[in-house]
Chains A and B, each alone.
Chain A
Amino acid sequence: MQPNGAAPLNCLWRWVLPECWGPLGILFEQISPYWFAYVGVALAIGLSVLGAAWGIFITGSSLVGASIQAPRITSKNLVSVIFCEAVAIYGIIAAIVMATRIGYASVAESDPVTKFGGYALFAAGLVVGLSNLFCGLSVGVTGSSCALADAQDATIFVKLLIVEIFASALGLFGVIVGIIISSKATLGGDASAGR
């Protein structure tokens, strides 16, 4: 760390060394914990909805096409669409839990509990959002194949549904971890009282 706070040039390739992290630390200190917390909430709901919407259009377009020749598959295969929709619901649940941890900014932003809370909610948002995004894609692709396969062979649906259930469970893992992380976070309100 050089006196003027700038990183030495060789930090460009030694960026993994702790003494090079100074500028990053300053950067993060300048950003409000509330910013991190609310961006975390936005990531949780936004990425989840992206995953769900993506999954629904992958499944839905195949389902609509396949049901022309085999109309019987529509009601059964709505389950695939519902699985995709559930991913968005996971995102909403996580986002609501996270949002309830944030109160009005009654304490200084440099308060350690508040800073911890900001980073915790940011991480929780990423955990929930990314796991739901990939879960939604996975359910969408399997749901699309499931609709096409069901249209060809009516006996195969239940077996394929198991595959979709496993794909759908992936998102739940993220939600569980996200809720555990966010349960430790407290911002604002009477945070400094040690609640």
Chain B
Amino acid sequence: MDMLTFNADNGYLEAVVRGLKASLLRRQDYTNLAQCESPEDMRTILNSSDYGLWLQNEPAPLQTQALYDCLMNRLVYDFRSIRGQSYAPLSTFLDYVTYPYMIDNLVLLLMGVLRNRDLSELLDKCHPLGLFEGIATLTAIHSPEELYREILVDTPLAPYFAECVNVHDLTEMNVEIIRNLLYKAYLTDFYQLCVERIGGMTGSIMATLIAFEADRRVINITLNSLETSLRKDERMMLFPRVPGGLDDEIIQRLGRADDLQAVAMALDLSSTYRALFQRAAERGEYSLEDQFLEFEMKLLRESFDAQFHYGVFYAYFRMLEQEIRNLTWIAECITQKQFAHASRVVPIL
């Protein structure tokens, strides 16, 4: 039934997003960009793409930071214009897409408060998509308790916070745990929104994408906690679980894993992640994170094969973010004269 009713509210925006996706940079563009001698050469190549308009007012020696700001402005502009034209439930869906950035921002602010840093300085470092109404008032805050109360009042993340973070947990040790708990609550909630409240084609496409996101976090949490004092039961508690993700058996094994060997053994049971893990081991210069990104880009591309669902909005903003990462990586490599590494990007299309 999606086919018959989807376009009434969302047909225009879906087509807009598909058009924007077609203008993302391709493999060939990255090869050309990697051969640039200076960021100024990059501008010449980017001028022929959609970024031309955004870069034209930048002063002549293009800095990496200026490039990053331009790209980010474009992302925010695209997001805001699409969010502004959307109807419910697409608008709710798009709000959920911004929550991960908001979680990161709040964790950043929390770190700042705990270390007694000036928050107005940190606000500039926040991801612009993760800003919320009233974030400016947070500069007046000096204690974690006040921040906790402000978060509960001002942000849409309040249910997650109330559910999994106690005000007494706000210590520097716990910050990473809090971030993972928030992500876990967010992914579960997002899964529920897509599969149960929206359903249909959106549900089946987003289920795959969210399950992958959850699996990636499970594996990363395991790898990052191997040499730390995190208890095994605490580690299990941090694993985000959604239907369609890793099997119980694998999760149990990852929860018990003590070293890299045990992780590899556990992932041997899943054909997808075994392949990613092996390839990361074989190709030294591409880390596991790069393999995950490459696989994610494949999933995102595949989501464009189906029509009449919200997955394309999620996929497009994920792809655009990856493009920004790629371009800043190339710019950074070129500025530091590390030309050999400049081609080490994750192509999107």
A-side residues, CB < 8 A to B, are 54, 57-58, 60-66, 68-70, 137, 141, 144-145, 147-148, 151-152
Contacts and interface: CB of A to CB of B under 8 A. Distances in A.
Interface of B: 3-4, 7-8, 11-16, 18-20, 22-23, 307
A57 B20 contact: no
Given A69-B20, A69-B22, A70-B22, A148 B15 contact: yes
B15 A61 contact: yes
B15 A63 contact: yes
A67 to B, nearest CB: 8
B307 A145 contact: yes
Contacts of A69: 16, 19-20, 22-23
Main secondary structure of the interface of A (DSSP, over half): helix
B7 A148 contact: no
B7, B14, B307 — which one has the most chain A CB atoms within 10 A of its CB?
A: B7
A145 B22 CA distance: 15
A145 B19 CA distance: 13
Given A54-B4, A144-B307, A148-B307, A62 B20 contact: no
A53 to B, nearest CB: 11
A58 B12 contact: no
Given A61-B11, A144-B7, A148-B14, 4 more contacts: A57-B8, A66-B16, A66-B18, A69-B23
B9 to A, nearest CB: 9
Given A137-B4, A144-B7, A151 B22 contact: yes
A60 to B, nearest CB: 8
Given A69-B20, A152-B22, A147 B7 contact: no
Nearest to B6: A58
A61 B7 contact: yes
B19 A66 contact: yes
